[in-house]
Structure 1
């Protein structure tokens, strides 16, 4: 199957910034299985529909929404500590997203490339390693670098700072409404990759 044509970038763009989960890598199955496993001691169930409706949220934001939905509190710090190792156990489910992988390989060496993800660094590095793209990026920014998830612009602004490129000269690739809002708030143009790729919750 042929890949969709890459988007036409503004001539002044100097850097591309990619979200990780759902943009570079289909990690939804791995993350969903990790959360379900981590929530067992709390006797709280997270459905695929609940998770799919909140893609792009940080772990803290997701758990807050789950507590609001179920009335059952979940200790975010507990999951922060336990989930990275669990995620590695589900890494075999991670797949590259062809549209974005093609863009990375096409522009590597031509433009500066970065990742800006609200996930924890061990998970992001595991995901990039699973799809063989770790070494393509000059900067990899994760939630540990800013402490603030999307739709705040901090992750994207940190990536631009690391690349030494003005925000207005960066173009973002995202797969969530929160991420797209964050890119706009950072003063960057953005491409929504969802028309080019959809993960199937039935396979999670």
Structure 2
């Protein structure tokens, strides 16, 4: 694996579903939210939006189903439901192995669609927050993924050119954001790493 990391000076991880296995509880919280508000729940579609902020996902629900729900209320309901069912963060072994191999050798950042307080809580819960060189959340940018701003901001904060950064992501939107930022991307699918050619 180490030879695949040569040529990169910084590693940027998405958080949910990439570094921390929290996607199943996020999906369950959206399913419960859909029951409460009466909109259809499409598991694959919601998974594809991993990395997109909860508020933006609520707006996309309105667009997709031609609804006029209060997206702020929907997002808050989803957040509260998630907190009720979440039992604690669990690291994804394959990406955590990359993290530990790169620690002290390359800059390490997290670029996530989560709000800052949520991201800090999760990362602290798995003992990673203090080990990062940078953390960029949806609270820190104007444009969330698939816009490249999250990853470009992370690169700027660690002082590494975008082309020398390698991103780990679990969704197509995240991959698009990395590509738009001029970065190579490793896709994380069901905890397995799919390296770029």
TM-score, with structure 2 as normaliser: 0.84
Cross-structure match for 1:201: none
Count of aligned pairs between the two proteins: 193
Cross-structure match for 1:67: 62
Matched, 1:170 2:165: yes
Matched, 1:10 2:10: no
Distance 1:30 1:6 in 2: 32
**8 Å contact 1:29–1:93 — kept in the other structure?**
no
Distance 1:49 1:184 in 2: 22
**8 Å contact 1:46–1:66 — kept in the other structure?**
no
* Gap change, CA 1:80 and 1:48, over 3 Å in 2: closer
Q: CA deviation at 1:130?
A: 3.3
Selected match of 1:132 from 127, 139, 147: 127
Question: 1:103-142 counterparts in 2 under 5 A?
Answer: 103-142=98-137
* Gap change, CA 1:183 and 1:66, over 3 Å in 2: same
* Gap change, CA 1:181 and 1:33, over 3 Å in 2: same
Structure 2 unmatched runs, 5+? none
Cross-structure match for 2:143: 148
Matched, 1:33 2:19: no
Q: CA deviation at 1:84?
A: 4.2
Cross-structure match for 1:88: 83
SS in structure 2 at match of 1:180: helix
For residues 86-116 of structure 1, what are the alpha-carbon distances to aligned partners after superposition, in whole Å with 9 as ceiling and x for unaligned?
Answer: 4333331542111111111111111111000
* Gap change, CA 1:19 and 1:155, over 3 Å in 2: same
- Structural RMSD (CA): 2.5
Q: CA deviation at 1:78?
A: 2.5
Cross-structure match for 2:184: 189
For residues 51-109 of structure 1, what are the alpha-carbon distances to aligned partners after superposition, in whole Å with 9 as ceiling and x for unaligned?
Answer: 23433333244223322333332322224545544433333154211111111111111
SS in structure 1 at match of 2:5: coil
